[in-house]
Amino acid sequence: MNKKLLSQLAFIIAALLLWQLLYNMKIWPKMLFPSIPTIGKAIVEAFTKRGLPAMALHSLKLLVSGLCIGVFLAFILSSLFSINENMAAVYNMIVCMFDLIPGIALIPVAILWLGIGDEAIIFMVIHSCIWPMSRSIIDGFKAVPKIYVEVGRNFGLNGIGLISGVYLPASFERLFSGIKLGWARAWRGLISAEMVFGGSALGIGYYITDRRTNLDIAGIFATIVVIVLIGLIVEYGIFRIIEKNTVAKWGMVH
């Protein structure tokens, strides 16, 4: 077991002990600040009695759908607009404008356009990920050394060929960071939308709202733990493996 993993485990254990210590000090009412065993029990109940696994899978299904669309649009739009400097300036302005709009502000629009349901949630996921990803792609393209571009042109590459043959490989590290940022934004946006839509969105966000309605604080913390665990699984079980076999293997990590 390496030192990094030991450090991470030590931090988690210390955090759990601190939480339990604060619980034992009775600073807050037990209902508002449940103990670690109570939260653990709530996690078990969520998985065995309350259908949280099915809700989490539904949320992940919507997330993957919206994220795939968002990734595709971000790459296509950023690439097309990067061909021309004037078009790049226009798209950069669009990204700056829309990235500043909180997802929660677009929920009324999503409801009016798409109704209350999965389509509106996918719309929110797309909005949450497309703009930060586009920023990363634009910044990545700008960071590509001009000598690479000139070499590509000397080989007869222009337009889309130049993007696919030079810009994308040379800026892969930034693009991959953009995908990770887009995933994190999309995950947060999806849960927020599900919390707002309530029973019309039977996902993990609805489960939090349901536990709040029932004054089940332990259930809320249990769901937060599950959300964090899903995030860690994606980060360490998917992204880190991809990163290890791409940017790290290619020597692109600074």
- Please tell me the predicted confidence (pLDDT) of residue 17: 94
Residue listed under structure tokens 């939260």: 39
Q: How confident is the model at residue 75 (pLDDT cuts 50, 70, 90)?
A: confident
- Please tell me the predicted confidence (pLDDT) of residue 61: 92
- Cβ 159 vs Cβ 126: under 8 Å: no
Taking the domains of the chain in order of start, what are their residue ranges?
Answer: 57-212
Mean pLDDT over 1-28 rounds to 88
- Please tell me the predicted confidence (pLDDT) of residue 201: 62
Q: How confident is the model at residue 28 (pLDDT cuts 50, 70, 90)?
A: confident
pLDDT at 200 over 70: no
Which structure tokens are listed for 199?
């029973």
Q: How far is CA 130 from the centre of its chain?
A: 11
Please indicate whether residue 78 or residue 65 has the higher confidence score (pLDDT). 65
Q: What digits encode the pLDDT tens for the residues 202-241?
A: 788 888 988 888 888 999 999 999 999 998 898 888 888 8
Please indicate whether residue 2 or residue 35 has the higher confidence score (pLDDT). 35
Question: How far is 204 from 194, CA to CA, in rounded Å?
Answer: 7
Residue listed under structure tokens 């910044």: 139
What share of the chain has pLDDT > 90, as a percent? Answer: 24
Residue type present at position 196: V
Mean pLDDT of the chain: 84
Question: How far is 78 from 178, CA to CA, in rounded Å?
Answer: 12
pLDDT at 115 over 90: no
pLDDT at 154 over 70: yes
Which structure tokens are listed for 63?
């997330």
* The CATH fold of domain 57-212: MetI-like fold (1.10.3720)
pLDDT at 156 over 80: no
Q: Provide DSSP, 172-240.
A: HHHHHHHHHHHHHHHHHHHHHHHHHHGGGS-SHHHHHHHHHHTT-HHHHHHHHHHHHHHHHHHIIIIIH
Which structure tokens are listed for 187?
């995950």
Q: How confident is the model at residue 251 (pLDDT cuts 50, 70, 90)?
A: low
Closest CA to 136 of 100, 175, 171: 175
What share of the chain has pLDDT > 70, as a percent? Answer: 93
Q: By 3-state DSSP, what share of the chain in percent is helix, strand and coil, each rounded to 5?
A: 80, 0, 20
pLDDT at 194 over 80: yes
Q: Of 25-34, 35-44, 158-167, 208-217, which gets the smallest average pLDDT?
A: 158-167
DSSP label at 187? Answer: H
- Please tell me the predicted confidence (pLDDT) of residue 248: 60
Residue listed under structure tokens 């990590």: 253
Closest CA to 140 of 166, 169, 175: 175
Residue listed under structure tokens 């690439």: 79
Q: What digits encode the pLDDT tens for the residues 40-54?
A: 999 999 999 888 889
Question: How far is 137 from 237, CA to CA, in rounded Å?
Answer: 24
Q: How far apart are the first and last CA of the chain?
A: 25
